[in-house]
Amino acid sequence: MVFAVIWFGALGHNVLIHSDEGRYATLSLGMLQSGDWLSPRLNGLLYFEKPVLPYWLGALSFQWFGINEFAARLWPALAGFLSIGLVGLTANRLWGREAGNLSAMVMGSSCWVVLNSHFLNLDTGLMAFLTLSLCSFLLAQREDAGQSARRSWMWLCWAGMAGATLSKGLIGIAIPGAVLVLYSLLFRQFAFWRRLHLVSGLIVLLLLTAPWFIQVSLKNPGFAHFFFIHEHVERFLTTEHRRSGPFWYFVPYLLVGFMPWVTLLPPILSQGLRREGRGQMQPDRLLLVWAVFVFLFFSKSGSKLPSYILPMFPALALLAGHLLSRQRPAWLLKHLLVPVLFWLSLLVATFFVQRWVSPDTPLAVLRPLAHYTALGALTFLLGAACAWRFLALERLTAAVIALSLASLASLTLIQVGYNPYAQLKSSKEIVAMLKPTPDTEVFSVRYYDQTLPFYLHRDVVLVDYVDEFELGEKTEPTRWIPTLDGFAVRWRAAHRALAMMAGDTYQQLKAQGLPMQIVYQDPRRMVVAKP
């Protein structure tokens, strides 16, 4: 209960920020407002970069809980929370109750899982469905599983792949499929292929995924090429999405993301390579292949974002829980050192917060973040002290609970302290201050804040801005203004109008004599009104 209160308690505290949170909230809100649950639209323009399931869930959340930050982030938070439960249930069935509890606590306190579960993105939902697929497969392939239970678990595994596919595309099939092939080849185990319920499983997969893909393709002829070729093949093989990085790009995100359990990685690796008994299925080995494949697959990709490696964390949590359940409490003592040093380093860094001040980031927004980070660090250190005491008393589970709750509480405090800084990347205060009337035209000129349409509760008119809107602008060219000259004509004709832009664009338009009055300005953008 305490864990759930902390997990969901601060979900609606922070404003939504540019770019992911604003983008996905706007997509869901647009779906709810338009009533078109087939073709996603971002700011009124067709948007096919990702499948539709997260937008459905977001729209339903807005419908049930209102248009607010809590509802916007509810699905990622639920996805992370359910993933924790799935990991705990699976470890419990495979290795016993203690392993289940330990695995769930490792999963629920890992830095990258916690942070991404409280941030509106698509990768946490993908992680949840892939966790469902992975855990269902492991439970289906147990040696003591009956035929009926095995079939049910495998159908649930296929349903998990369907959910993952409807969340982020073919990666929902590619990861589980590739892992099984690699596991079979590396460890010469092939018998389980006869227990996949391949025909009925494919039927489950197609029944859940095909209807939307077929209908959206029929309604939008350009969908198939854009989604399957541009967003899958080209995204993986090229760097045209401008999200490239070196091969070691994900290393720091893994090391920090698996705090406070990062020092368990070497023994986890050793455990995963060890053969357990003579059974057909070796869960530890499969989990290791899963985690390593996810990491290497996205490291090789030409498109990289920090949250891409989230699907490896459930496998790591399962391995860590199994490992911990077989150790004496004193064994964990030495593993407290690295997370304690990490949080001590953060605590020391808060005393030098002024070093990060810049024209775009004033001290006024950094100071609250530093204060809450210091409070979070002290909270974790207190939890680590409790864990050390429990370990001295030979109480491993109590120590892991103390460390897990301390990690979750510390990360939650940092997220609360982030809100003043988040205001710089959000339009909530701007909209609240300006209060545009329904008949006020709102333009976004050579600049686009993803949160602006969400907080306006309506679309804005893009001017000379393409980026991810290229498909939608080509398909429906009347929904945007491609040039500044066209904008000037529309601006002069408008009765009431507001426009968001950067400072250099304002200077260019001012030099052309366009009538504008600055009504809002910060280091990153400004809003002008028609006098």
Q: What is the pLDDT along the chain (531 residues), one digit of tens a residue?
A: 889 999 999 999 999 999 999 999 999 999 999 999 999 999 999 999 999 999 999 999 999 999 999 999 999 999 999 999 999 999 999 999 999 999 999 999 999 999 999 999 999 999 999 999 999 999 999 988 888 999 999 999 999 999 999 999 999 999 999 999 999 999 888 888 999 999 999 999 999 999 999 999 999 988 877 777 766 666 655 555 556 678 899 999 999 999 999 999 999 998 888 876 665 789 999 999 999 999 999 998 877 899 999 999 999 999 999 999 999 999 999 999 999 999 999 999 999 999 988 888 899 989 999 999 999 999 999 999 999 999 999 999 999 999 999 999 999 999 999 999 999 999 999 999 999 999 999 999 999 999 999 999 999 999 999 999 999 999 999 999 999 999 999 999 999 999 999 999 999 999 999 999 999 998 889 999 999
**Alpha-carbon dihedral sign for residues 87, 257, 179, 212:** positive
Q: How far is CA 317 from CA 307, 339, 460, 510, in A?
A: 17, 16, 43, 57
Amino acid at site 258: F
How many helices and strands (H and E) does the chain possess? Answer: 25, 7
Separation of alpha carbons 7 and 2, rounded Å: 9
CA 311 to chain centre: 10
E strand or H helix that includes residue 200: helix 198-219
Separation of alpha carbons 461 and 479, rounded Å: 7
What pTM was estimated for this model as a whole?
0.95
Separation of alpha carbons 147 and 197, rounded Å: 11
Give which of 2, 15, 140 is closest to 73, Cα–Cα.
15
Separation of alpha carbons 49 and 216, rounded Å: 13
| Cβ count within 10 A of residue 174 | 17
Pull the structure tokens for residue 281.
Answer: 């299925």
| CA diameter of the chain | 81
CB distance 282 to 276 below 8 Å? yes
Q: Provide the pLDDT for residue 240.
A: 55
Separation of alpha carbons 362 and 401, rounded Å: 38
Separation of alpha carbons 25 and 457, rounded Å: 10
Give which of 205, 212, 210 is closest to 173, Cα–Cα.
205
Q: How far is CA 209 from CA 161, 203, 387, 481, in A?
A: 10, 10, 46, 36
Q: Provide the pLDDT for residue 457.
A: 96
Q: Provide the pLDDT for residue 303.
A: 78
CA 431 to chain centre: 26
DSSP annotation of 497: E
Q: How far is CA 220 from CA 206, 213, 468, 474, 476, in A?
A: 20, 10, 17, 13, 12
Amino acid at site 336: L
Cα 163-167-168 angle, rounded to 5 deg:
125
Pull the structure tokens for residue 105.
Answer: 């606590």
Separation of alpha carbons 493 and 65, rounded Å: 39
Give which of 197, 192, 195 is closest to 180, Cα–Cα.
192
CB distance 529 to 497 below 8 Å? yes
Q: Provide the pLDDT for residue 448.
A: 96
Separation of alpha carbons 445 and 201, rounded Å: 49
Q: Provide the pLDDT for residue 278.
A: 60
In the block, residue with structure tokens 């003043």: 420
